[in-house]
Amino acid sequence: MNRTLPWILLVLTTIVHAAQAAPAAPPTLLPTSTHAETAGVSAKVLSRFHYQAAPLDDAMSGQIFDRYLKALDPERVFFVQADIDRFAANRTALDDAILRQDLEVPYAIFRTYSERVRQRLSGARELLARGFDFDRTETYRYLRTDVPWPASEDAVREVWRKRVKNDWLRLKLAGKDDKAIRETLDKRYDNALTRVARYKSDDVFQMFMNAYATAIEPHTNYLGPRASEDFAIAMRLSLVGIGAVLQERDDYVTIRELVPGGPASRSGQLAIGDRIVGVAQGEQSVAADVLGWRVDDVVGLIRGAKGTTVVLDVLPADAGQDGEHKRITLVRDTINLENQAASKSVIEVAGATAPHRIGVIKLPTFYQDTGARRGSDGDFRSATRDVARLLAELKADKVDAVLVDLRNNGGGSLDEAIRLTGLFIDTGPVVQQRDAQGQIRVDRDVDPGLAWDGPLGVMINRASASASEIFAAAIQDYGRGVIIGEQSFGKGTVQTLVSLDQMVRSEKPKYGELKMTVAQFFRITGGTTQLRGVTPDIGLPAMGDAERFGESSYDNALPWTQIAPAQYKPAGNAPDLLPLLKTRHASRTARDTEYAYLQEDVAELKALRERSEISLNESERRKERARQEARLKARETARSGATVAVADAAAGRPAGTDVIAALRDDGLLAGERSLRAELDAEESSKDAKDVLLGEATRILADMVDILGADAPRAASLLPGTAMRMN
């Protein structure tokens, strides 16, 4: 990405810091002069150039105040009402603090937060020595985002008593004994203390500035220099480093994955589970001791310029804490993040008279290496270029239809959304934009020709947002294909990156960037996807939580609206097929046991989401657990039949034991299981049957059958299909 000019981007997620650890007694965090300057410059930009520009006044200060407290203590388990009352004196002073470039108030609030965390978690560790009465009838409210702040210290202690009791009970139900439970929870709370103690001044500033940015509109964010670079990496799908995925485990930064073909993998000297305890910049340099460091700080030392040398001091995975270290020298190289790039597969599906081959293209994000493109690199990396190549390969594989899977694709480059649409239509408008001045621009595909002119489907879910919605909406509006899945996110706004370093003429990356909403996009039919998202032509069971996730879950989202439609010609008549496709879909899924199980699971998940409390009585929890396991055992027995039942019996296990064990809550949090257990679970998840994808491919197989039996209809539905079907 060119860092000197803003670039229009559509994104759902923001850069989130990884879980980090720290010393027990945290330093006193204070704002720097750079933070103060950054806040002042940001205020000028946001109050003048934002799509929904809002003055930085007392009203805005109140919104910043509320969002900052929510960012610090979303579950309301650290602060008490007295803290909130004391902070309230500054509720309308945060605007003045930003404009005067004096950020002491938000840092003072954070210092109180840090102290409260130490108090609550220290108290939680003390509770472990006492144990709990699990015969008592009481409940724990685990969903606390909308409850009042605890009224007193006694009230917050009661919240934590129940919280710790629930943590203990989960482990007890998973079969842990008291000693193991105490050790697990004591370590958990100590790690939580450590993470808060390792906060830096930059972290507090980013949190506060995002409270300001999101108070204007949900998709406006501040990115500090490090977050800005991470965002650029995500967009270009490449970085310069050693090709190792790192994770913090206890006090060690541990190798979690080696990227095939990267320097770390090629060296043959590093293995999953190895721990990095030192990093040196060249063979003659002294290694920095990184034991106990945050993972992002270690990553910062390992990344560097291509062709330069980095030396790692490594404690092998199978060595004890006092084991022999290895010194490994690596030369940094460009690492392509292939696991985030477009990929393809071919699924064979039964048809009316013969099997059909359905090509599936999975696109995780709309990426583009804008820096390489602006630098006239003719081979720059982009989602559209990769998908075009995959489509050519699928043609060679003689697929009958193509399904573009955009599930969990949160967006990316607007340019890529337009260009990708152009692979499936000839030419024409793709999306409309309206800026803050009310001016409307129509963005068009201007490249004639299609990369794929056959049957097409697009799969979306609640996490499909922004650029995904532009593409899906255009395919739907042109009648070019069938949209399958669930209602999308509903993000209909356009963001640009504003370099604050450029604005203050800083030669070094010092001030960061604003990802700022500057426009709203509209479908070629005139309506926006804002709030409402894209409605699928054929709906599948919704796994997402629409009430808590999606544009409609934000309290300050822009409203739905519409403008005049653009002039365009339909590229097909896919809607004409929908009645027959829906009939076949309904008939098939009514007989599909796995689909019925999925619907059952969705209903169960919905019921669980509607709860906010859970029993702390052991007998009641065991009964509830037994009901769940009985349901799953019955399902597995029905799936497996006598063969697995006999095998289980021969091994002395109840039917479906392996499945039940995999689904059972073990009471542990991410990072508390062994690294091998986590990796095995991820691999198992990848191999799990994707019922929704299976049904989507069958819908496309239905489309192929229908079109193959009706040449005139095929000719009207698909560009060039009359020739393809002869």
Catalytic residue positions, numbered: 466, 477, 491
For the record, the structure tokens of 194 come out as: 């450590």
Amino acid at 318: D
CA distance 628 to 633: 9
Beta strands in 290-389 (DSSP E): 309-315, 326-331, 333-336, 343-349, 356-362
**With the CA atoms of 279, 677, 679 and 609 taken in that order, what torsion angle do they form, in degrees rounded to the nearest 10?**
-110
DSSP state of 292: T
Instruction: Look up residue 674 and give its DSSP letter.
Output: -
| Contact partners, residue 464, CB within 8 Å, separation at least 6 | 406, 407, 408, 409, 410, 472, 485, 488, 489, 534
Strands 456-460 and 613-615: unpaired
Amino acid at position 133, single letter: D
Looking at 316-459, list the stretches that DSSP marks H as alpha helix, in order from N- to C-terminal side: 370-374, 383-396, 414-421
Tell me if residue 640 falls in helix, strand or coil. helix
Q: Which tokens go with 543?
A: 């796994």
Contacts of 196 (CB under 8 A, 6+ apart): 22, 26, 114, 117, 118
Question: 104-127 and 178-197 are packed helices; what angle lies between their axes, rounded to 10 degrees?
Answer: 170
Asked if 425 and 419 touch (Cβ cutoff 8 Å), the reply is no
| Per-residue exposure over 113-127, b if at least 16 CB sit within 10 Å of its own CB, e if not | bbebbbebbebbbeb
- Name residues whose C-beta falls within 8 Å of residue 563's C-beta, 6 or more positions apart in sequence: 432, 434, 440, 522, 526
Q: Is residue 297 within a helix (H) or strand (E), and if so which, with residue range?
A: helix 295-302
Distance CA 695, CA 547 (A): 26
Cβ count near 131 (within 10 Å): 12
At which residue do the structure tokens 């002042």 appear? Answer: 40
* Contacts of 568 by beta carbon, 8 Å cutoff, 6+ apart: 428, 429, 477, 478, 524
